[in-house]
Amino acid sequence: MKLIHQAVLINEGRSFTGSVLIERDRISKVFESEVPESILQLCSEIIDARGLYLIPGVLDDQVHFRDPGLTHKGDIYTESRAAVAGGVTSFMEMPNTSPQTVTMDALREKFDLAAQKSIANYSFYLGATNDNIKELKKVDKKNVCE
């Protein structure tokens, strides 16, 4: 477990000094008061965040990272790195790459690229064309942007 300790938390229209407990890369508890000693002893890392602000990350639902095919303009690694530096924790990437992401194979390749390159959470759109309705019907709506 890790603890971000005594930050100024800003969330849902409120601002308060508190701590955030992270277990298995997920927020498990927010403390608005003192953290119990029993929790402090269980933490493998305690980040002293006094005087620092902790705010929710941003989700960007329309990015153009150009991977594959146009990586001279930017790729998933460089663009996700820039996004994270600006507070974006999750992105949804558009299908206008070269080749366009209009088949399930191309979509799987993009997910594979992101698994290797992205430093943020991600998902992708499958592009619609005049003749790929069969591909669109194959989309798992739990994993792909709509």
What letter represents residue 68's amino acid?
Answer: P
Task: For the chain, give the number of residues.
Answer: 146
**What does pLDDT average to over the chain?**
93
pTM of the predicted model over 0.75: no
pLDDT at 81: 95
Burial of 146 (0-12, 13-18, 19+ CB in 10 A): exposed
- The C-alpha atoms of residue 100 and residue 111 are separated, in whole angstroms, by 14
Percent of the chain predicted with pLDDT > 90: 79
pLDDT tens for residues 96-122? 888 999 999 999 999 999 999 999 999
pLDDT tens for residues 1-12? 999 999 999 988
Residue 141 pLDDT greater than 90, yes or no = no
User: Do the Cβ atoms of 1 and 24 come closer than 8 Å?
Assistant: no
